[in-house]
Structure 1
Amino acid sequence: MNDAESDIHVESTGRRVLRELMGEEYLRVKDSRRNDFNDVLQDYAEDVCFGRVWGRDGIDRKQRSILNIAILTALNRTGPLKNHVEGALNNGCTPDEIKEVLLHTAVYCGLPAATESFRVAEDVLRERGLLE
């Protein structure tokens, strides 16, 4: 396989993983926001993040989702956290597992970061009908 064929394979793998993780509606919205300025970043995210990293063996997607929730909490990145809580649910994480991950982050990342992440996760759980 030459480099061009490899890039096409990675791109299709990244797109497939992203679709499986986030769903068709997420891709539709993401694609609608694509323009000549951000296209390179969108391609990078699909190719590297989802094609080359999320597409690897070694740990399963549920474990990757748990890691992302903890990392995004540590970095206080609540925008992407919302998407990754949704992805974690798609990958088999239960609300109780997400709660335990976020509680664990309170100890290591600080209470303010965990509190904000709990708020984001609660919003997602309510939207999905998993929390009253």
Structure 2
Amino acid sequence: MKTPATPYHERLSDVPVGWPTSEPPDTNAEGGVDRRARGLQTIHEITGATGESVVASVRELAPDLADWIVDFAYGDVASRQAIDKRTRQLAIIGGLTVLGHAQPQLKVHIQGALNVGCRPAEIVEVILQMSVFAGFPAALNALTTAREAFAE
């Protein structure tokens, strides 16, 4: 077995402290991070009206959960700049496929992936790759969800 020329721990020493980082956060009038505005903007960029209606629906029953989705999931995490939106959506599709029980969320993120420029073939390939880790039933369920998302 061939080993890399530079040991792994030495290669990591070249990674800057704090990497990867997102761009400097937006600030509100008081100088605080405006997670809500950044989250809403990110939702709009990725999912458009679909994501906005999901958040509104969640807010009716569980306003705190809606805030967590906007502020944390989109305002803090999905808005990071270390990877582009296409790559992020493909990673999310992989994760949701492996979960095997998140078809509504998977559909939203497949539509989001299409919105940010992913091709259907790329999305299908990610799902196929996940069959190795999640099993064929999870992959088949994800493909059914993808077919629905592609048709809309």
The two structures have a TM-score, normalised by structure 2, of 0.75
Look up the match of 1:95: 120
Cα distance in 1, alignment partners of residues 120 and 59 from structure 2: 32
1:43 to 49, 67, 80: 67
Note if 1:80 corresponds to 2:109: no
Moved over 4 A (4+): none
| Residue 130 of structure 1: aligned partner | none
Looking at structure 1, the residues matched to 142 and 42 of structure 2 have their Cα atoms a distance apart, in angstroms, of 24
Unaligned segments of structure 2, at least 5 residues: 1-26
In structure 2, how many angstroms separate the alpha carbons of the residues matched to 1:63 and 1:81? Answer: 15
Give % identity.
Answer: 34
**Separation in 2 of the partners of 1:44 and 1:6?**
17
Matched, 1:70 2:112: no
CA RMSD of aligned residues (A): 1.8
* 1:27 alignment partner, SS class: helix
Q: Is the 8 A contact 2:58 2:65 kept in 1?
A: no
Report the AA paired with residue 92 of structure 1: G
Larger helix fraction of residues: 1
Larger Rg: 2
Residues 1:92 and 1:126: Cα distance change in structure 2 (over 3 Å): same
Q: How many residues align?
A: 124
Distance 1:29 1:110, change over 3 A: closer
The aligned residue for residue 135 of structure 2 is 110
| Structure 1 segments unaligned to the other structure (5+ residues) | 128-132
Aligned match of 1:57 in 81, 89, 102?
81
Letter in 1 for 2:73: C
Distance 1:41 1:112 in 2: 29
Superposition TM-score, scaled by structure 1 size: 0.85
How much does 1:108 deviate?
1.7
> For residues 99 and 76 of structure 2, what CA distance do their matches in structure 1 show?
22
The residue that corresponds to 2:45 in the other structure is 20
